[in-house]
Homo-oligomer: A and B are copies of this chain.
Amino acid sequence: MTTSPAALRLLVQCPDRPGIVAAVSRFLFEHGANIVQADQYSTAFEGNGAGRFFLRVEFETAGLDLPADTLAARFAAEVGTPFAMEWRLSGDHRPRVAMMASRTDHCLLELLWRWRRDELAVDIPLVISNHEALRADVEAFGIPYHALPVTNATKAQQEAAIRTLLRDAEVDLVVLARYMQVLSADFVAEYPARIINIHHSFLPAFAGADPYGRAFERGVKIIGATAHYATHELDEGPIIEQDVVRVTHRDARDDLVRLGREVERSVLARAVQWHIEDRVFVHGNKTVVFR
C-alpha cells in the first residue's frame, strides 16, 4: 500500500455511464502512465436509479510522455469534460496539515508520533489550541504552537485569528484532535471535506456532549469513536471511520474515558491517513473509502 515517490493519483467522480474506465485507462496508457493501483465504485448498484461513479488511480510517472500540467490539461479536454467529471491529480506536493486540540493530548500526540516516525507523509506547519497546556509537548516535535484562548465574548475574534493562521500556513487539511470548541458555519465552509473531527462515541449514538457519561448511564456493552468530516451540523458530517471497544458493568465513567482514548486515537489516525492518501471520497453525507 506504499506510494512510490514518483507517483500521482487521479481522483474522479462523475455520473456513472459505460466507458469511463476504458477512457481513463486508455488515456493513461497512451501517455506512458503505469497504473499501480486502481479502485472504483458506483452507487448504481445500490439500486437508486442513476449512479455516481468514483475512481482512484495511482500511477507511476517515470514513463510519462508529457509534464504533469500538460497531461492534466489534455485529460480535462479529452476525458474529464466529456464525462462531466469532478477530478483532480494529487501527489505532487506533500499535504500541509494543521492540528487543533484543547487540553487533551492523546489524539494529538498519536498523530505527531506517527508523523515523526514517517508513517504520516505530511508537513505540519502549526498546532493551534485554545490552551497553553500542550505547548511543551508540541514544541518538542519542533512544531510551532499557537495558543489562542477563547471566551464567549472573544469567540468570533479568536476564530478569525485561527483562520488567518491557517490561511497563512496554506493548509490542505485541518485535524480537530479533540478541539472542544464548535466551529462557525463559515469556518467549516472554508474547508469543505477538509476538516476531520474525532467524536468520542460511535455516532449516531450519543451525539453531542459527554458521550462517555451517557454511555455509562445507558449501560451499553460497547463504546466507540467516530472520525468524520466537519459540517455545519454538529456531529452530522460524513463518517470516515469508526471503531469500538468492549466495556463491562465494572467500568465506571472514568474507565470508559480511558478505554475510549485508545479507540479515539487509532480511529482518528486511520481517518487522517486515508484522507492524505486520497482514499476518501465524499458523496452526499456519506463517504466512499478505498482502503
A contacts, CB < 8 Å to B: 1-2, 4, 18-19, 21-22, 25-26, 28-30, 32-42, 44-47, 63, 105-106, 109, 113, 117, 119, 140, 202-206, 218-222, 224, 238-244, 248-255, 258, 262, 266, 285-289, 291
- A25 proximity list for chain B (CB < 8 A): 21-22, 25-26
Could you show 18 A-B contacts with beta carbons less than 8 Å apart?
Answer: A2-B252, A18-B32, A21-B21, A37-B41, A38-B38, A38-B40, A41-B249, A105-B117, A203-B218, A204-B220, A219-B286, A220-B239, A221-B289, A222-B243, A244-B244, A249-B287, A249-B288, A249-B289
- Contact check, A2 vs B202: say whether CB atoms are below 8 A apart: no
A105 to B116, CA, bound (A): 11
A59 to B110, CA, bound (A): 36
In the assembly, how many copies of this chain are there? 4
CB-nearest residue of chain B to A105: B117
- Contact check, B218 vs A239: say whether CB atoms are below 8 A apart: yes
- Contact check, B255 vs A262: say whether CB atoms are below 8 A apart: no
For A219, give its contact among B221, B238, B253 (CB under 8 Å).
B238
For A250, give its contact among B29, B41, B105, B220 (CB under 8 Å).
B41
- Contact check, A202 vs B204: say whether CB atoms are below 8 A apart: no
